[in-house]
Structure 1
Amino acid sequence: MKSVGLSADHTAVDVAQPVSNSQQVTGSEAIIMSLLAEGVRRVFGYPGGAIMPTYDAMMDHEDRLQHVLMRHEQGAVHAAQGHARATGEVGVCIATSGPGATNLITGIADAYLDSTPLVCITGQVFAHLLGSDAFQEIDILDISMPVTKWNYKVTEAGEIPTALAKAFYLARSGRPGPVLIDITKNAQVDTLDFVYQSCDQVSSYEPNPTPSQQALLQAASLINAAKRPLVLFGQGVILGRAEAEFKAFAERIGAPLAATVLGLSALPTDHPQYVGMLGMHGNYAPNTLTNECDVLIAIGMRFDDRVTSNLAHYAKQAQVVHFEIDPSEINKNVRADVAVLGDVKQTLAAVMKRLDHRRHDRWLQRFAALHRTEQRLIIDADLQPATAAINMAEVIQCLNQQDPDAIIVTDVGQHQMVACRYRQFTHSRGLITSGGLGTMGFCLPAAIGAQFACPEQTVVGIVGDGGVQMTIQELGVMMQHQLPVKVIILNNQFLGMVRQWQELYFDRRYAATELHNPDFGILADGYGIANQCVSERQALPGAIQTMLQHPGAYVLEVRVAQQDNVFPIITPGASVADMCLGVEAAVEADAEQSTNEGVKDHDHNP
């Protein structure tokens, strides 16, 4: 995603009618009133010297604006992400200058790569001290510029309402993303005549391109003529709130449907056309048959390298139709024969008028056959292992059986890939995970944000023993606010994904990946959070049930196999068609693949 690159000249902003009459307020009060005018009811943050006036002003509005004190600024931005991802609304976080601001950067970068709408507000030293290396001064604008849609430094109180109106508009419009507003201390304490005008247009910024009628016609023509179409859908379906339009489109064309990691949950996994997850640890059939489809239909996804692997060997036989809102993603990685620019909610509805009803039963049977191979060689062994140790997949399956509707928030690593592979999703926004940046430490604070956003829903954090220790202090927020977040720590006493790569590609030289962990139960006890630890398979269902039925927060540590691997895997640099199912499984899979190559494909038109 490219930065918008907008001028700081606020005269470029067209605004709606004021939402309040002019009144004299401090800059700090203007910040709070602007947030309230945008409908914000909750912010996540951590106070400090340069933002203290704003925290003082916040106390006068505690009945309308809740502040959640996180235990680290990284936790604040991840919590804002979780809140935004669960609701689709703009998340807000606040931090002070210097280290407070720099501690936000990892989460801002995560939000940027995953198109999460955020407004991040940082305090800054007095304007007259800028550039003097004052205490806790840092140029957060230059630091954050590569990972924000827009950023701006406010040095005068009168700029605050316009800057924040513009920030919210840019964060939520078009392809969403994070925006940062840095506000000097003098701007917070000086006064202004406050009038808030919402922003709905910025010069040179076109968030929703108008789709070309010619592109719609060409896309429909290719899709109607396809013999072996394959649909790849990503988070753009969710961000565009286009789940219903996507489902109708998919059922009209009758094609196999495969999800990116961030696209998971846009469509229920039990849909008859759903054929699995794409990517390095995705499902065998959609990855392999990407290189056999004749028309590849990409919807709200960006052809990330974890999906395409070696671009020189990616879908070269296919014509590509790309539905995408961000022009910078078109032809960036994969050349599109037809690019349909625009909001997918609108473009899918528009192209539907031109599509024939189709069925591709024999083509879908090819996916089913390869899925049976994966089922026999990988999935059955994951879900019903012969070993005494519990597998991660068993935990996810047990959760499926007991609460299929819970919102799942994952950290990053083997447990993430296992959760994505085996979780059965029943509703949109059922998965919150770090995709593009792959941020360890994401799970706990993001789960907190999601639970605040969805107090009536069960939120389950799935985290490894490595990632949980990066932000484990956020258990204090769960304790303080009595949040009923459920946390499952899958403990294999390793940095599991790194260890797997060391086993496969570094001659089993396990450099710096073995973990000597604390007693997670004692840590949970310290925060007053109920907990238990299981290592026996027969105890797992009861432990999951106890966790889910507990009215408050719960930490369940599951001791899983130490050196288990996640398969299939696309070896880095290999073609998507060359998935490795494990050393022993690969030979048998190759033999079965050859028996399926003779199946001829026929289209069926009802």
Structure 2
Amino acid sequence: MGSTKRMTVSQALIEFLANQWTVDGIVRERTIPGVFGIFGHGNVAGIGQALKQLNVESPDLMPYYQARNEQAMVHQSVGYARIHRRRGTYASAASVGPGAANMLTGAAVATSNRLPALLLPSDTFATRVADPVLQQIEHPHDLGVQVTDAFRPVSRFFDRVQRPEQLYSIALAALRVLTDPVETGAVTIALPEDVQAEALDVPVEFLQPREWHIRRPRPDRDAIARAAAAIRAGKRPFIVAGGGVLYSDAENELRALVEATGIPVGTSQAGGGVLTWDHPQYLGGVGATGALAANRLAAEADVIIGIGTRYSDFTTASRTAFQNPDVTFVNINVAPFDAYKHGTQLPVVADAREAIVELTEALAGLRVDAGYAGRIAREKAEWDATVDAAFAPSGLALPGQPEIIGAVQQASAPEDVVVQAAGSLPGDLHKLWRVRDALGYHVEYAFSCMGYEIAGGIGVKRGLVAAGDDRDVIVMVGDGSYLMLNTELVTAVAEGIKVIVVLIQNHGYASIGHLSETVGSERFGTWYREYDGEARNFQGEKILPVDLAMNARSYGLDVIEVAPGASAIDDLKAAVARAKASDRSTFIHINSDPLIYAPDGAGWWDVPVPEVSTLESTQRARTEYLEQQKAQRPLLG
């Protein structure tokens, strides 16, 4: 019989996590390199004690890190996971009730983005010896239902350790899902506060180093043959590349494929970076927020080759992007759920890199015709010129967001990482940001979570530091999203984690304000204004006397305020250069005009407009909506 070690459930779990390793080819790294934790009565004597004990006995084995908000802990984990191509992530421990509930949004971010995050929310007493406890939710119809049950629909794995002996099977199952390229997302292990402190004799084998090898399944031979035949039969093939290309380390293989065949590429938000912006076959983002070049060719394509994309409504422009009546879909995806989308009869269920390699071989000798190649080059050149014009300084006292993006772009280094998630910035970045490095574009857009940016950016920087990479992380954020969750800046200051935050102050919600106009709601409720008691709204002219630069300064960051004026863009470039030269976190504040928009990319997003209304603006929007809706198609190809 093997030897055992007397430990609490929490001690056993933390030591187990400290010995898990992810192996992806020649890459081997810690699956869980650390734990974020905010302690309360539900976990201070369990997980908290276990982390303290390990910190005393072996401080490098499982480092503990503070956070200021439970949601932000998970955002940091997601940012780290993406920059590590899903090979590693952090665990996040929270107390009972509100602490646990605060992580729900983070769990949804992880799961919707198919990025791993391990959540350890505390739960009420399994024995119910103290019932109800502080922060417990009581349901007369089911006394077993608690806050942690809300994690079930937003997690890819959920279980509750109700008895100490359950820990082994639950922990192993959780790590299997966490490291599975198909199943990964939020993995939740609920820990009742009494069970956390209970002891058991833990087999030493459970605590030994364990490797989890990333599956890279090769495609079925016949599936590749059918896909290649369909592509060869097409005249205007077009690739939609998603995040799966990056998670598979397949950008080099994709480049080889498109250089051999001449097939053009458009990217989803998650796919940004699969090709550099100046590659001849790269036409920019595709879909609702895409570039005009990519959307024009996607509309005419007779074969759409989706690689590692889940085909969100933004990628398909709410099913208006692909207009060829005879379009065929070849979907390459490690997840069957995504490979079979749009009714395709040509799914290729495989790892992106392995599939691209075999597809390249199957397409040997194929080259798009000269006419199509010329069209690709002309569309790209035209769009590049459009972006150049959008970046050109206007000399306005309040520059538009496109100018601001251009200035940050020009002042940054090719390898720097831009981080964003919500508002008008993701759409403008998708169109305008010229990605120069595979990992240089980090936009969380599956959940598009306001407040993700700062915490996610810190997670990205953690990931880079862990990999020995000293490139800068530039968080671009609007005032609306900043106000949602900015307190994690304290974490950056406390640990000396350098991030550069560019705050674009437009006194409201720029993205939803613009959308509100298009659907006939006239920007109602989207401005940050003083409340007008007579009109009973916030639509007046009195801007709030809120000083976000002072807020950031109070956290301990270096702050650079770019004053409105004709030199604002030049001053912004200088500010970014100064921030890059510093070894401290820097907050750059610039005012913008939210009514200056990025160039039109001919994408559409389906947001239903009321059928009836007394507002003329809504009536006009309804007419336009019905006209746009005519372009939608079922995409059964």
Instruction: Name the TM-score, length of structure 2 as normaliser.
Output: 0.81
2:483 counterpart residue number? 469
| Structure 2 residue corresponding to 1:320, chosen from 325, 329, 340 | 329
Structure 1 residues 477 and 200, CA gap change in structure 2 (3 angstroms): closer
Residues 320 and 338, structure 1, Cα contact 8 Å, conserved in 2: yes
Structure 1 residues 375 and 217, CA gap change in structure 2 (3 angstroms): closer
For the residues of structure 1 that align with 2:477 and 2:548, how far apart are their CA atoms? 12
Structure 1 residues 439 and 509, CA gap change in structure 2 (3 angstroms): closer
| Structure 2 residue corresponding to 1:84, chosen from 81, 84, 87 | 81
Partner amino acid, structure 1, of 2:322: Y
Matched, 1:365 2:358: no
Matched, 1:519 2:529: no
Secondary structure of 2:355's aligned partner: helix
| Structure 1 residue corresponding to 2:596, chosen from 564, 568, 581 | 564
1:110 counterpart residue number? 109
1:313, CA displacement in angstroms? 7.2
For the residues of structure 2 that align with 1:313 and 1:393, how far apart are their CA atoms? 24
Residues 140 and 182, structure 1, Cα contact 8 Å, conserved in 2: no
For the residues of structure 1 that align with 2:545 and 2:76, how far apart are their CA atoms? 25
For the residues of structure 1 that align with 2:41 and 2:312, how far apart are their CA atoms? 41
Partner amino acid, structure 1, of 2:64: H
| Structure 2 residue corresponding to 1:148, chosen from 139, 150, 155 | 155
Secondary structure of 2:605's aligned partner: coil
2:501 counterpart residue number? 487
Structure 1 residues 147 and 507, CA gap change in structure 2 (3 angstroms): closer
1:239 counterpart residue number? 247
Residues 277 and 421, structure 1, Cα contact 8 Å, conserved in 2: yes
1:51 counterpart residue number? 43
For residues 73-92 of structure 1, give each alpha carbon's deviation from its aligned partner in whole angstroms, at most 9, with x where no partner exists: 11111111111111132332
1:171 counterpart residue number? 178
For the residues of structure 1 that align with 2:123 and 2:133, how far apart are their CA atoms? 10
| Structure 2 residue corresponding to 1:533, chosen from 548, 552, 561 | 561
1:104, CA displacement in angstroms? 0.6
For the residues of structure 2 that align with 1:476 and 1:554, how far apart are their CA atoms? 12
For the residues of structure 2 that align with 1:311 and 1:509, how far apart are their CA atoms? 26
Secondary structure of 2:315's aligned partner: helix
1:157 counterpart residue number? 164
For residues 42-100 of structure 1, give each alpha carbon's deviation from its aligned partner in whole angstroms, at most 9, with x where no partner exists: 22221111111211110122312222211111111111111111113233211112111
Q: Which stretch shows the higher mean deviation, 155-164 or 102-111?
A: 155-164
1:210, CA displacement in angstroms? 5.8
For residues 495-528 of structure 1, give each alpha carbon's deviation from its aligned partner in whole angstroms, at most 9, with x where no partner exists: 0001111233326343343353621221122112
Secondary structure of 1:119's aligned partner: strand
Residues 485 and 552, structure 1, Cα contact 8 Å, conserved in 2: yes
1:573, CA displacement in angstroms? 4.1
Partner amino acid, structure 2, of 1:465: D
Secondary structure of 1:123's aligned partner: strand
Matched, 1:416 2:416: no
1:548 counterpart residue number? 580
List aligned pairs for 1:122-521, cutoff 5 A: 122-129=121-128, 133-137=132-136, 139-175=146-182, 176-195=184-203, 196=206, 211-311=219-319, 314-315=322-323, 316-332=325-341, 334-360=342-368, 361-374=370-383, 380-385=389-394, 387-402=396-411, 403-455=413-465, 456-506=470-520, 508-514=522-528, 516=544, 518-521=546-549
Secondary structure of 1:183's aligned partner: strand
For the residues of structure 1 that align with 2:224 and 2:381, how far apart are their CA atoms? 36
Structure 1 residues 451 and 319, CA gap change in structure 2 (3 angstroms): same
2:626 counterpart residue number? none
Secondary structure of 1:282's aligned partner: coil
Residues 281 and 566, structure 1, Cα contact 8 Å, conserved in 2: no
2:4 counterpart residue number? 22
For the residues of structure 2 that align with 1:318 and 1:437, how far apart are their CA atoms? 29
Q: Which stretch shows the higher mean deviation, 339-348 or 509-518?
A: 509-518
Secondary structure of 1:122's aligned partner: strand
1:34, CA displacement in angstroms? 1.1
Q: Which stretch shows the higher mean deviation, 296-305 or 44-53?
A: 44-53
For the residues of structure 2 that align with 1:56 and 1:330, how far apart are their CA atoms? 45
Residues 559 and 588, structure 2, Cα contact 8 Å, conserved in 1: yes
Residues 262 and 373, structure 2, Cα contact 8 Å, conserved in 1: no
1:223, CA displacement in angstroms? 2.1
Residues 261 and 420, structure 1, Cα contact 8 Å, conserved in 2: yes
1:560, CA displacement in angstroms? 1.4
Structure 1 residues 545 and 377, CA gap change in structure 2 (3 angstroms): closer
For the residues of structure 1 that align with 2:458 and 2:233, how far apart are their CA atoms? 47
Secondary structure of 2:362's aligned partner: coil
Structure 1 residues 538 and 241, CA gap change in structure 2 (3 angstroms): closer
Q: Which stretch shows the higher mean deviation, 169-178 or 69-78?
A: 169-178
Residues 117 and 185, structure 2, Cα contact 8 Å, conserved in 1: yes
Secondary structure of 2:304's aligned partner: strand
Structure 1 residues 56 and 201, CA gap change in structure 2 (3 angstroms): closer
For the residues of structure 2 that align with 1:21 and 1:270, how far apart are their CA atoms? 60
For the residues of structure 2 that align with 1:174 and 1:416, how far apart are their CA atoms? 25
For the residues of structure 2 that align with 1:517 and 1:440, how far apart are their CA atoms? 22
Q: Where in structure 2 are there 5+ consecutive unaligned residues?
A: 21-29, 138-145, 530-543, 608-637
Residues 461 and 499, structure 2, Cα contact 8 Å, conserved in 1: yes
Partner amino acid, structure 1, of 2:555: Y
For the residues of structure 1 that align with 2:345 and 2:317, how far apart are their CA atoms? 20
1:242, CA displacement in angstroms? 2.1
Secondary structure of 1:566's aligned partner: coil
Aligned-CA RMSD value: 2.6
Q: Which stretch shows the higher mean deviation, 223-232 or 509-518?
A: 509-518
1:158, CA displacement in angstroms? 2.6
1:200, CA displacement in angstroms? 8.1
For the residues of structure 1 that align with 2:523 and 2:408, how far apart are their CA atoms? 34
For residues 544-601 of structure 1, give each alpha carbon's deviation from its aligned partner in whole angstroms, at most 9, with x where no partner exists: 1111111101000111113222342534349xxxxxxxxxxxxxxxxxxxxxxxxxxx
1:73 counterpart residue number? 70
For the residues of structure 1 that align with 2:220 and 2:589, how far apart are their CA atoms? 53
For residues 461-499 of structure 1, give each alpha carbon's deviation from its aligned partner in whole angstroms, at most 9, with x where no partner exists: 111111011111111111211211110001111200011
1:209, CA displacement in angstroms? 6.0
For the residues of structure 2 that align with 1:223 and 1:50, how far apart are their CA atoms? 57
For the residues of structure 1 that align with 2:219 and 2:186, how far apart are their CA atoms? 25
1:236, CA displacement in angstroms? 0.7
Secondary structure of 1:50's aligned partner: coil
Q: Which stretch shows the higher mean deviation, 121-130 or 109-118?
A: 121-130
The number of residue pairs the alignment matches comes to 552
Structure 1 residues 433 and 140, CA gap change in structure 2 (3 angstroms): farther
For residues 288-347 of structure 1, give each alpha carbon's deviation from its aligned partner in whole angstroms, at most 9, with x where no partner exists: 221211211110001111121343773432221110111122343x22131100111222
Secondary structure of 1:307's aligned partner: coil
Secondary structure of 2:270's aligned partner: coil
